[in-house]
Amino acid sequence: MTSVWRTSGWVLLGASLILALSLGIRHGFGLFLTPMSSEFGWGREVFAFAIALQNLIWGLAQPVTGAIADRFGARRVIAVGGLLYAAGLLLMGYADSAASLSLSAGLLIGIGLSGTSFSVLLGVVGRAVSVEKRSMAMGIAAAAGSFGQFAMLPGSLGLIGWLGWSAALLALGLLVALIVPLALLVRDQPLPSLGAEQSLGEALREACGHSGFWLLALGFFVCGFQVVFIGVHLPAYLVDQHLPATVGTTVLALVGLFNVFGTYIAGWLGGRLSKPRLLTALYLARTVVIVAFFYTPLSAWSAYAFGIAMGLLWLSTVPLTNGTVATLFGVRNLSMLGGIVFLFHQLGAFLGGWLGGYLYDHTGSYDLVWQISIALGLLAAALNWPVREQPVARLQAAGGVA
C-alpha cells in the first residue's frame, strides 16, 4: 500500500464518518416538528421557518467556508463547524420561542453545517484522489452521509421517546461534538501553485461566465426544494393521512438506507457515463416517483415503496453535480465553486422547508407543494440536459491540470 493511498484512504474514512454524523443528525430534524410545535402551541410554520433558515444560512456560508478550506486547508474549518453545530443543538434543546429556535436551529447549526458537509468534505476528497477515482470516491463519501441518516433516524426517535425532545437534542449535541477529533483524520493542504495561480476573483469570473455552471446551480435548486420538503414534512404528512408516526420514521430511514446504494451507484456511473445526462435521468425518475406516490392510494406499504425509490435518487445528485464542477473548472477552487452551486441547493431547501409549513397553515394541506415538486422535477431535468462535460479552455491548455 503506497503512502499516497494510505493518506487518501484516511481522508476518505474521516470525511465519511464526519458526513455520517453531520448529515445523519440533520436529517432527523423533522422528527422534532410535532413534539416541539405541540408543546409550545406553534403552528408548523414556526419550526419549518427555523429549518428553512438553517438551510439558507448553510447555503450563504458555504462559499465562504469553501474558499477558506481551498486556500488554507479544511481541517480547521471542519473543527470549528463541528463546535458550532454542537452548540446549536445544545441551545436548540432549550429553545422555547420562535426567536431562540431560529438562533439555534437556524443560525448556529446552519453555519456549523457549512463546515461539516458536502462542499468542504467532497472538496477534500476530490483533491486527495486521482482524477479517474474522483467520482467514485465522492460517491462513497456521499453514501456514508446517507448511512448516517439510516442509522441516526431510529436513534433520534428512540432518544425522543426515552428522554423527551429537549434531552434528546442535548444528547445529539454531545454526539456531533465527535466531529472535532475526527477532523484530525482529514489531512488536507491547498494544492501547490503550478505557474500563475488563479485568484478567487478570476475563478469566480470564469465560473460565472460559463452557462453550464448556472444550469447545474439551478438544477440543484430543485434538489434542495424536494429533499428538504420531504425530509421535514413527510412524517407529519403521513400522520395527517392517518398512518402511525412510526411509518414516517421508517420511510425516512429507508430513504437513508437505499441512498447508500444510490449515491455509490451514481458515483460509479459518473466515472463511466455523462454526469449531466445522469442528472437529467435522476430528476425525471424523481418526478415519476413523486407522481406515483401522490396520485395513487396511500398505505404504509406504498409509503415504504416511496422511501425506497426516493432513497435510490435522494443524494445521488451530489457526487454527479460536484463531479461535473470539478471536470469543468478543476479542483483547486472546488470547495468554493461547489459551495456556490450548493447555495442554490439551499435556496431551494429554504423555499421547500418554509413553503411546506406556510401553505399547510394557510390551506390545511400539502397538496400544492407536492404539485410544485413535480413541476420543478421536470424543470431540473431540462436544465441539466444541455450541460457539456468539457473542461474550460484554461484547463485544456494546461493539459487538464488544476
How does pLDDT run across 272-293, given as a tens digit for each residue?
889 999 999 999 999 999 999 9
- The residue with cell 434528546 is 168
Q: What is the pLDDT of residue 3?
A: 47
Q: What is the DSSP letter of 106?
A: I
φ, ψ (nearest 5 deg) of residue 317: -70, -25
Look at residue 1 and tell me whether its pLDDT is greater than 50: no
Quote the CA–CA distance of 240 and 388 in Å, as a whole number. Answer: 44
The pLDDT of residue 4 is above 50: no
Q: Give pLDDT tens digits for 93-106.
A: 999 999 999 999 99
Q: What percent of the chain has pLDDT over 90?
A: 41
pTM of the shown model: 0.79
Please report where in the chains the cell 449535541 appears, as a residue.
173
Q: Which domains does the chain have, with CATH numbers?
A: 7-187+200-391 (1.20.1250.20)
* Phi and psi angles of residue 274, each rounded to the nearest 5 degrees, phi first: -65, 120
Q: Report the C-alpha gap between 258 and 307 in whole angstroms.
A: 8
- What's the pLDDT score for residue 196? 54
H helices of 41-95, in order, are: 44-72, 75-92
Task: Quote the mean pLDDT of the chain.
Answer: 86
Tens of pLDDT along 298-344?
Answer: 999 999 999 999 999 988 898 899 889 888 888 777 778 888 888 89
**Amino acid in position 6:** R
Mean pLDDT of 220-238: 91
